[in-house]
Structure formats: C-alpha cells, structure tokens
Amino acid sequence: MTGLRAVGLALASLLLAACSGAPSLVAPQPSDIEVDTPELQSLRAETGLEPCVPGAASTALPAVTLPCLGGGEDVDLSSLEGPMIISFWASNCTACRIEMPALQDFYEQHGDAVPVLGIDYLDLYPGVALEQVAKRGVTFPMLADPGGDLQETDQFVGVRGLPYLAFVDADGEVVGQHTGGVTSADELVGLVDEHLGLDL
C-alpha cells in the first residue's frame, strides 16, 4: 500500500507541475514540419500575403533564420529594423483568429510607419494556417517557427501563450508585449503609443 501511495503522490506532483504554467525544461527539437511544399506554395498563391523580405540591418533581434510560410525567402530576424509589431499566432488558436482582422486593419492604415510581421508559431498545420490567413484577408508577411526556435532566445523566452504581440523599436529591442489579443486597429494604435512612443 505504501508503494502505491508513493506512486500516486509522484503522479499528483507531476500533474500539478504540468498545470502550474512553469516553463518546460525540455529544449525544442528540430522540427520536421515542412512549411514550403508545392501544396503549401499553391495555398499561399491563393492568399494575398506579401513576400518575406530579409532586411539589411544588424539589430538586437535574435539571429535566428526562419522560413517564409508557404514558400519564399528565409529571413534572419536580426536583419530587420523596427519600429514594428511581431505577431505570434497559430492556426489552432481561437483568440489569434479573432485578432487577425484588427492586425490587418492596422497594417492597412499604418503599415508604412509600423509594419506588422506574423510568425506562425509552434504550429503543426501550416496548411490550415494559410487557409486561416486567406479566410481573414491577411496580407502582411508571415514567417514560420514550427519547432519553437525563438523560445530559446532571450528576446522571446517570455512567449508563453498566444496570441502574443512584441513591440520592437528601431534598434531591434523588444520594448513591449501584449498577450490575449486585440480587437481593433485603434487598440493597436494605443499600444504603439504606449510601447513605442509613436503618435500615429
């Protein structure tokens, strides 16, 4: 009986640890999720997504190279200059789907001053992600991080839940974050003012 009780206590401890929201100690593994196949390229062609374009700078963003969702150029994040908003999302995230139209509205109104970059994050279904993008009329560029490479970086170690917005200044420093989603472009304008000090 004592042995069974010990096993039960050990299992209970494991369950509590799993539910506590404590960060996992297991490092991400290389992903075998393909985000640039002929089928995904075809799906991407049906969206209005703009191409992924590497920058020419060297900023404080992590030197992690991510593929373009559905095909295109890979992008080293450290080559990108702010100010910008980076949106972490996934196809199975309901709040992310709700947030997308607000991000798109903001991008159409203010993308010249503060671009938006999407990252399909820890997503096993890039085809579904592209379908969601098409359904919601999203056009801002989309990278993919199916293996969670960015969670090993100092700048994005805090990404614990989706949707997650990172506000990046001109030097590539993440100077603000927002979780839980936004519902309007005006809300994003307020967050840009708060975190980036820009009056749009």
Q: Tell me, yes or no, whether 48 lies in a domain.
A: yes
CATH number for the domain that contains residue 119: 3.40.30.10
Helix H or strand E encompassing 117? strand 116-121
Mean pLDDT taken over the chain: 86
As for how many domains the chain has, the answer is: 1
HSE of 50 in the Cβ direction (CA atoms, 13 Å)?
14
pLDDT digits (tens, 9 = 90+) for 13-55: 333 333 333 333 334 445 689 999 999 999 999 999 999 999 9
Q: Tell me, yes or no, whether 124 lies in a domain.
A: yes
Taking residues 1-19, what's their average pLDDT? 37
Q: Which two tokens stand for residue 38?
A: 């002929």
Q: What is the pLDDT of residue 40?
A: 95
Q: What is the pLDDT of residue 23?
A: 34
Query: Residue 101: which domain range?
Result: 36-196
Q: Tell me, yes or no, whether 1 lies in a domain.
A: no
Q: Which residues, listed in sequence order, are joined to residue 118 by a DSSP beta bridge?
A: 87, 142
Q: What is the pLDDT of residue 196?
A: 97
Q: What is the pLDDT of residue 152?
A: 87
% the chain with pLDDT above 70: 84
195, pLDDT greater than 50: yes
Q: What is the pLDDT of residue 2?
A: 42
pTM across the whole model:
0.84
Q: Tell me, yes or no, whether 137 lies in a domain.
A: yes
Q: What is the pLDDT of residue 158?
A: 74
Q: Tell me, yes or no, whether 18 lies in a domain.
A: no
Taking residues 65-78, what's their average pLDDT? 97
pLDDT digits (tens, 9 = 90+) for 133-142: 999 999 999 9
Q: Tell me, yes or no, whether 73 lies in a domain.
A: yes
Q: What is the pLDDT of residue 62?
A: 96
At 183 the three-state DSSP class reads coil
Q: Tell me, yes or no, whether 30 lies in a domain.
A: no
Q: What is the pLDDT of residue 31?
A: 62
* Dihedral sign, Cα of residue 79, residue 180, residue 121, residue 153: positive
pLDDT digits (tens, 9 = 90+) for 141-160: 999 999 999 998 999 987 87
Q: Tell me, yes or no, whether 9 lies in a domain.
A: no
Residue pair 120/91 in contact (Cβ under 8 Å)? The answer is yes
Q: What is the pLDDT of residue 34?
A: 93
Q: What is the pLDDT of residue 108?
A: 98
182, pLDDT greater than 70: yes
